Amino acid sequence: MGSRQFFIDMKLNILFVLKWICLSIILGGLCGLIGSAFHVSVDYVSELRMEHSWIVYLLPLGGLFIVYLYHQVHLDYEPGTNTIIQSVRQQEKVPVLLAPAIFLATVVTHLFGGSSGREGAALQIGGSLATSLGQLLHFDKKEMSILIMCGMSAVFSALFGTPLTATLFSMEVVSVGIFYYAAFVPCLCSSLVSLQIAQWLGCQKVSYQLLDVLQIDISTVLRLILFTFIIACFSIVFVLMMHYSHKIFHQYFKSPYVRVVVGSCILIILVLLFGYHYLGAGMEVVDQAIYATVLPYDFIMKAIFTAITIGCGFKGGEIVPTFFIGSTLGYILAIFLGFNPHIGASLGLIAMFCCVINSPLTSIVLGIELFGSMNLIPIAIVVAFGYVLSGYFSLYQAQKIVYSKTSPEFINKNAK
């Protein structure tokens, strides 16, 4: 390479970095503000619901409002996280009105007790805000894809306080087997800016303190493999529950208004039978799994509540319920397999997360950001085996499996 070409390349790299630092400050700041407002809103209505438990019986009204809202902003086709993933890979635009719609709809879902998370809304808000900025700046399709990944990372980071996980998630989740390295600097910068804004506004990051270390030997490794196999099997069950719940509601109830009312009534009946334990996101139960104790059937009940909530038309996300399911199942499995159930809860959370989104590097970094590096080897074991044993199932059917999980082979198939 000649010296002239070297300086040309260096100039282009420097301009790229400067351009995306500026854009990341703008987008990260905007996403930090909106993400913080979303975080505070969801926490407020969740506390309000827990103080006034009768609110859950108004769940059908909340569902009707969400359906009406999406109809009014011409989002009857119900765009979601799959829409964001497709927009990155196929370089399509995200509906601009998706941000306010999913913001309000998720807050309403949590107010009335729907079992959903908030990261799905975060990804949709971030993607929609990024599209608005990209259109304002007249970005081309390739630049728009990077900007959408920046938006995804930024709001995710603001909500959970895990900037590295947020950065890697948007780069890894779109196409399994491919990393969008061109988005590394932009996504990292936007995540850090957004996190700083959220912390200034008082949003607390999610993290846990575990004092015990799982000692690694042959017996422990074998038990961890069995542990992960069971987690992977249930992750497939959970993914199928989510997909078929959506199909069944749409097949038997053509009207979205009827659909959401029927689903609401089923949830109310389940609340009368099993209590309020499985409403909302459920992070308080994750805390119980890591620091106290949980019920042996918590994981299956949360899966049922979440599948019905999302399937009938309420909004939110599936990842925080996945944390609930993974941590409670991991707790129970650890007791049977003879190791610390609180470590089991942390490993179950990480393993289930990896199994349902097919993103191993993101999952390892999530484990470190949430639990520290004391149990890094066990985290790596459950992530590695969970990634393979969960097959090609995913919560996001728009996810593309580009390379095989078991062979260096290009397969380019959609997730199941």
Residue 124 and residue 80 in contact, taking contact as beta carbons nearer than 8 Å: yes
> Each residue of 222-263: pLDDT tens digit?
999 999 999 999 999 999 999 999 999 999 999 999 999 999
What value does the mean pLDDT take over residues 64-77? 88
What value does the mean pLDDT take over residues 389-404? 88
Does position 86 have pLDDT exceeding 90, yes or no? Answer: no
Does position 81 have pLDDT exceeding 80, yes or no? Answer: no
Confidence class for position 144, pLDDT limits 50, 70, 90: confident
More confident residue, 227 or 173: 227
The pLDDT score that the predictor gives to residue 411 is 82
Confidence class for position 90, pLDDT limits 50, 70, 90: low
Structure token pair of residue 269:
């009946």
3-state SS class at 401: strand
What value does the mean pLDDT take over residues 199-206? 87
Structure token pair of residue 83:
């829409």
The pLDDT score that the predictor gives to residue 351 is 98
218-414: CATH superfamily: Clc chloride channel (1.10.3080.10)
Does position 9 have pLDDT exceeding 90, yes or no? Answer: no
Nearest to 105 by CA among 134, 132, 80, 127: 80
Whole-Å CA distances, 329 to 25, 229, 290, 321: 40, 12, 11, 12
Structure token pair of residue 289:
């799994």
Least confident of 61-65, 191-195, 279-283: 279-283
The pLDDT score that the predictor gives to residue 42 is 93
Residue type, 50: M
What value does the mean pLDDT take over residues 360-368? 96
Whole-Å CA distances, 371 to 293, 331, 364, 381: 18, 15, 10, 15
- What is the DSSP track for 231-291? HHHHHHHHHHHHHHHHHHHHHH--SHHHHHHHHHHHHHHHHHHH-STTSS--HHHHHHHHH
C-alpha dihedral sign at 336, 340, 342, 346? negative
What pTM did the predictor assign? 0.94
Structure token pair of residue 189:
């910068």
Residue 127 and residue 84 in contact, taking contact as beta carbons nearer than 8 Å: yes
Residue 94 and residue 148 in contact, taking contact as beta carbons nearer than 8 Å: yes
C-alpha dihedral sign at 207, 44, 353, 221? positive
The pLDDT score that the predictor gives to residue 89 is 61
Structure token pair of residue 210:
């575990």
The percentage of residues in the chain with a pLDDT greater than 70, rounded to a whole number, is 97
Does position 1 have pLDDT exceeding 60, yes or no? Answer: no
Least confident of 130-139, 288-297, 357-366: 130-139
d(CA 97, CA 328): 36
Residue 111 and residue 55 in contact, taking contact as beta carbons nearer than 8 Å: yes
* Strand-strand pairing, 400-403 and 410-414: antiparallel
Residue type, 164: L
The pLDDT score that the predictor gives to residue 198 is 93
What value does the mean pLDDT take over residues 374-396? 95
- DSSP letter assigned to residue 55: G
Confidence class for position 3, pLDDT limits 50, 70, 90: confident
Q: How far apart are the first and last CA of the chain?
A: 46
Cα 294–Cα 244–Cα 226 angle in degrees, nearest 5? 45
What value does the mean pLDDT take over residues 359-363? 95
Average pLDDT across the chain, whole number:
90
More confident residue, 7 or 367: 367
CATH topology match: 3-200 vs 218-414: yes
Does position 372 have pLDDT exceeding 80, yes or no? Answer: yes
Whole-Å CA distances, 300 to 221, 295, 296, 321: 26, 10, 9, 11
d(CA 120, CA 301): 21
Topology of 3-200 in CATH? Clc chloride channel (1.10.3080)
All structural domains of the chain with their residue ranges: 3-200, 218-414
- What is the DSSP track for 57-83? GGHHHHHHHHHHHHHHTT-TT---HHH
Across the beta sheet with 175-176, the strand order is 175-176, 400-403, 410-414
The pLDDT score that the predictor gives to residue 370 is 95
Does position 204 have pLDDT exceeding 90, yes or no? Answer: no
Whole-Å CA distances, 352 to 213, 220, 367: 20, 19, 12
d(CA 42, CA 59): 16
> Each residue of 293-332: pLDDT tens digit?
999 999 999 999 999 999 999 998 888 999 999 999 999 9
Confidence class for position 383, pLDDT limits 50, 70, 90: very high
The pLDDT score that the predictor gives to residue 381 is 98
What value does the mean pLDDT take over residues 138-155? 88
> Each residue of 19-53: pLDDT tens digit?
999 999 999 999 999 999 999 999 999 999 999 99
Does position 149 have pLDDT exceeding 80, yes or no? Answer: yes
What value does the mean pLDDT take over residues 92-102? 78
Q: Which residues contact 382 (CB under 8 A, 6 or more apart)?
A: 224, 227, 228, 231, 347, 348, 350, 351, 354
Q: For residue 182, with 0-12 CB atoms within 10 Å meaning exposed, 13-18 middle and 19 or more buried, which class applies?
A: middle
Least confident of 93-97, 98-102, 214-218: 93-97
The pLDDT score that the predictor gives to residue 178 is 81
* Strand-strand pairing, 175-176 and 410-414: unpaired
